[in-house]
Amino acid sequence: MTSTLSAPSGEAPESSPDRANWHGASVWTQIVVLTGRSLRAVVKDPRIVVFSLLQPLIMLTLFSQVFGKALMSSIQTGSYINYLMPAILVTTGIGASLQSGVGLITDMKNGVLGRFRALPIRMGSVLLARSLADLFRTAVQLVILLCAAAVLFGFSPEGGFLGTFSAWLLALMVSWSLTWVFLAIASWVRKEEVMQSVGFLAMFPLMFASSAFVPLDALPNWLSVVARVNPLTYAVDASRDLSLALPVGTGVLSAVGASAVLLVVGAFFAVKGFRRPL
């Protein structure tokens, strides 16, 4: 026969010092755990992986095969695929950034973020974890895209591995800065339909009114003027200069500086909007 000891009536059970002093995990631990959660959600749904790869591969195939021969006389880089691929890296990163905002709104609607608010978790950690998970996914996506371009279309830029790697890093930085912009928009609009509309309204003028797919001299005069002030043109040109071993000048610094400003401003408004009641 066994018996249990209980606290006398009217006395609260003693709490352990560790539990009384616990205020949640460290910020670093929160970021690591939440980043892993976002990545596992992607891996568990193969459809996300497949469709996120199909779109840039289709764009690469269409633009390289449809416009390649027509634009060979307008470019100075030897082959259109070498000219096109740095732009595909940057534009693919923009598309991935838009999905970050849509994913945040989905988490807001399915109640996950509501549960997070009841835990000792910094809301900034949630946003940072999502941005890092999407950045990792974009990095893998761009590597697969580069391998496909090399194997299927003969992508072999003059800058070699170092130039291509630098262009890849720059595309990731541009993508991460725009991720924070779209997270900021998502935290304020909080509707998937509005987020998609805003995203596509911003993406297509940025992509096609730029030097991404054709040289600026090949554009109509009025469109060339727009493209010269388009910030995406600077990012694409800098990525292209790195990949093709062209004189870099201040293009890379301008692209990095603009990305840093967008990241800081986007992060500020994202955190501010995210803290609003759901």
The CA–CA distances, whole Å, from 29 to 38, 117, 268 equal: 14, 17, 22
The pLDDT assigned to 13 comes to 47
The pLDDT assigned to 266 comes to 93
Q: 22 or 91, which is more confident?
A: 91
Q: What number is the average pLDDT over the span 6-25?
A: 50
The pLDDT assigned to 163 comes to 92
- Separation CA 240–CA 254 (nearest Å): 14
Per-residue pLDDT of 115-129, as tens digits, reads 777 777 777 888 999
Q: What number is the average pLDDT over the span 73-92?
A: 80
Q: 278 or 241, which is more confident?
A: 241
**Quick check: 12 pLDDT over 50?**
no
Residue the block writes with tokens 């950690």: 125
**Quick check: 22 pLDDT over 50?**
no
What's the full length of the chain, in residues?
278
The CA–CA distances, whole Å, from 197 to 6, 39, 98, 192 equal: 62, 26, 10, 9
Q: What number is the average pLDDT over the span 87-97?
A: 89
Residue type, 104: L
- Separation CA 248–CA 245 (nearest Å): 8
Per-residue pLDDT of 220-248, as tens digits, reads 888 888 888 888 888 999 999 999 888 87
Residues 190-202 as b or e (16 or more Cβ within 10 Å = b): bebeebeebbeeb
Q: What number is the average pLDDT over the span 91-107?
A: 86
Listed by start position, the domains of the chain span: 27-275
Rounded to the nearest 10°, the torsion over CA 233, 235, 236, 242 is: 140
- Separation CA 33–CA 202 (nearest Å): 32
The pLDDT assigned to 55 comes to 82
Question: What does residue 168 show for φ and ψ, rounded to 5 degrees?
Answer: -65, -45
The pLDDT assigned to 5 comes to 47
Per-residue pLDDT of 167-226, as tens digits, reads 999 999 999 999 999 999 998 888 888 888 888 888 888 888 888 888 888 788 888 888
Longest Cα pair distance anywhere in the chain, in angstroms? Answer: 95
The pLDDT assigned to 261 comes to 92
Per-residue pLDDT of 128-163, as tens digits, reads 999 999 999 999 999 999 999 999 888 999 889 999
CB 182 within 8 A of CB 98: yes
Q: What is the DSSP string of the chain?
A: ------PPTT-PPPPPHHHHT-----HHHHHHHHHHHHHHHHHT-HHHHHHHHHHHHHHHHHHHHHSHHHHGGG-SSS-HHHHHHHHHHHHHHHHHHHHHHHHHHHHHHTTHHHHHHTSS--HHHHHHHHHHHHHHHHHHHHHHHHHHHHHHH----TTHHHHHHHHHHHHHHHHHHHHHHHHHHHHHH--HHHHHHHHHHHHHHHHHSSSSSS-GGGS-HHHHHHHHH-HHHHHHHHHHHHHTT---TTHHHHHHHHHHHHHHHHHHHHHHHHTS--
**Which range is most confident: 26-35, 92-101, 175-184?**
175-184
